[in-house]
C-alpha cells in the first residue's frame, strides 16, 4: 500500500484487455467514493487532480486526503496531475509528491509540444515520476458536427511514433473521437478503432490514454434535471464502444463528468425532498455513495478492470 507510479499498472494493462480508470478528484467525498469502489472491485486506480481542483482544494489537503485513502484502504494509488498546461505546474506537482503528471501541449505546434514535453520528462524522470503527454486535439461541441472535420484533429500515427521517441514519455493521450465535458459532440458518436489499431501496432509498448470518456447518458442528465436542474447534456461515446477501446490498446480512461452528474443529482434530490434540512453530511453522504456506484459501474462495464489489482 503506497503512492505508486502507473508503470506496473500500465505494464499489466498493456498485456491484457482492460484499462485503468483515472477519476478526477476535488474533495474528500469524491475521493472516498472512488477509493471505496476500487476497494470493492479490487481494481487498479488512478486519482487525478486538475489545476482547478488543486486550486479549489489546496495542494496540501488533496495530498493528505489521498495519503489517508491509502492508509484507510491499503490500496496502491497513482496520484496524477491532469492537463498540466506548463512546466511550472508539473514541477510543483512533482515536488509535492505526485507520482505522475500530464503535460498537455496539444494546443501547440508539433515541435513546441515536443520541446515542452521533453522539459517535463527530464525533470519528472529525475524525480522518479512518470509523464503523460497528448498529441491530437479532442473536439469540443463548438468545433462542430461532421466526423470528417473532427477526424482532421485526430492523432496522426507517424507523428505519434516520432513524438514518443523524441520525448521519452511514459504514456500518450490520443484523439480518436471522444470529447470533454457534458456538452459532447452532436451527431453520431464515433470512435476510430482503425486509427487506434494503427497507433497501438506502431507503439506496442506505449500505454495509450483516452480523455473525455464520460458517456453522459441521457438518464444521468435526466436524474439531475428531475430535481430542478437544467443541464442540456449531449450524449458522448456509448459505454460499450469505450469498453471495446479498453480491450484494444487503451490502458487509461479518464472520467470526470459522469461523476459530477451522479453527485449533483443526489445533492439536488436530497435538498428538494428535504427542504428543511441544512446539515451538509445529510446530502453529501448520498452524493458520496452515488460516486461509489458510478465508479463501480464504470469499472465493471467500461474499464473491464474488476479484479485486476
Q: Least CB distance from residue 50 to ligand G3H, whole Å? A: 3
**Quick one: which of 99, 155, 214, 292 contacts ligand 13P (CB under 6 A)?**
214
Site for ligand G3H in 40-69 (CB under 6 A): 50, 52-53
Q: How far is CA 129 from the centre of its chain?
A: 18
Site for ligand G3H in 248-287 (CB under 6 A): 256
Distance between CA 224 and CA 161 in Å, rounded? 42
Catalytic residue selected from 36, 82, 170, 256:
82
| Burial (CB count <10 Å: 0-12, 13-18, 19+), residue 277 | exposed
Distance between CA 215 and CA 269 in Å, rounded? 21
To the query of whether residue 82 is one of the catalytic residues in this protein, the response is: yes
Distance between CA 69 and CA 232 in Å, rounded? 34
Binding track, positions 78-107, relative to ligand G3H; x by CB under 6 A:
----xx------------------------
Distance between CA 219 and CA 221 in Å, rounded? 5
Helix axes 59-73, 28-41, angle to 10 degrees: 30
The verdict on 117 binding ligand G3H (CB under 6 A) reads no
Q: Judged by CB, which is closer to ligand G3H: 83, or 308?
A: 83
**Quick one: which of 57, 135, 139, 255 contacts ligand 13P (CB under 6 A)?**
255
Q: How many helices (DSSP H) and strands (DSSP E) are in the chain? A: 13, 8
Active site residues: 82
Residues that bind ligand 13P (CB under 6 A): 24, 82-83, 180-181, 211-214, 254-257
Residues that bind Zn ion (CB under 5 A): 211, 254
Amino acid at each position: 500500500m503506497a503512492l505508486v507510479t502507473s508503470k506496473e499498472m500500465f505494464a499489466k494493462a498493456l498485456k491484457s484487455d482492460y484499462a485503468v480508470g483515472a477519476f478526477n478528484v476535488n474533495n474528500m467525498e469524491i475521493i472516498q467514493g472512488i477509493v471505496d469502489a476500487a476497494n470493492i472491485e479490487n481494481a487498479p486506480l488512478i486519482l487525478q487532480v486538475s489545476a482547478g481542483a488543486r486550486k479549489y482544494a489546496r495542494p496540501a489537503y488533496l495530498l493528505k486526503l489521498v495519503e489517508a485513502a491509502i492508509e484507510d484502504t491499503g490500496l496502491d494509488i497513482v496520484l496524477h496531475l491532469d492537463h498540466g498546461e506548463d512546466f511550472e505546474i508539473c514541477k510543483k506537482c512533482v515536488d509535492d509528491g505526485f507520482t505522475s503528471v500530464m503535460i498537455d501541449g496539444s494546443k501547440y505546434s508539433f515541435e513546441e509540444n515536443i520541446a515542452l514535453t521533453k522539459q517535463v520528462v527530464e525533470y519528472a524522470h529525475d524525480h522518479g515520476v512518470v509523464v503523460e503527454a497528448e498529441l491530437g486535439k479532442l473536439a469540443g461541441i463548438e468545433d462542430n458536427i461532421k466526423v470528417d472535420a473532427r477526424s482532421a484533429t485526430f492523432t496522426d500515427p507517424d507523428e505519434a511514433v516520432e513524438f514518443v521517441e523524441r520525448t521519452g514519455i511514459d504514456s500518450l493521450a490520443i484523439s480518436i473521437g471522444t470529447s470533454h465535458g457534458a456538452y459532447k459532440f452532436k451527431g453520431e458518436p464515433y470512435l476510430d478503432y482503425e486509427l487506434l489499431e494503427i497507433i497501438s501496432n506502431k507503439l506496442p509498448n506505449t500505454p495509450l490514454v483516452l480523455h473525455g470518456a464520460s458517456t453522459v447518458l441521457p438518464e444521468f442528465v435526466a436524474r439531475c434535471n428531475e430535481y430542478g436542474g437544467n443541464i442540456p447534456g449531449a450524449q458522448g461515446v456509448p459505454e460499450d464502444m469505450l469498453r471495446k477501446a479498453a480491450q484494444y490498446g487503451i490502458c487509461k480512461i479518464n472520467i470526470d463528468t459522469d461523476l459530477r452528474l451522479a453527485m449533483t443529482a443526489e445533492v439536488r434530490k436530497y435538498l428538494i425532498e428535504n427542504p428543511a434540512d441544512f446539515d451538509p453530511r445529510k446530502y453529501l453522504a448520498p452524493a458520496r455513495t452515488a460516486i461509489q456506484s458510478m465508479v463501480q459501474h464504470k469499472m465493471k462495464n467500461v474499464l473491464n478492470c474488476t479484479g485486476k489489482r
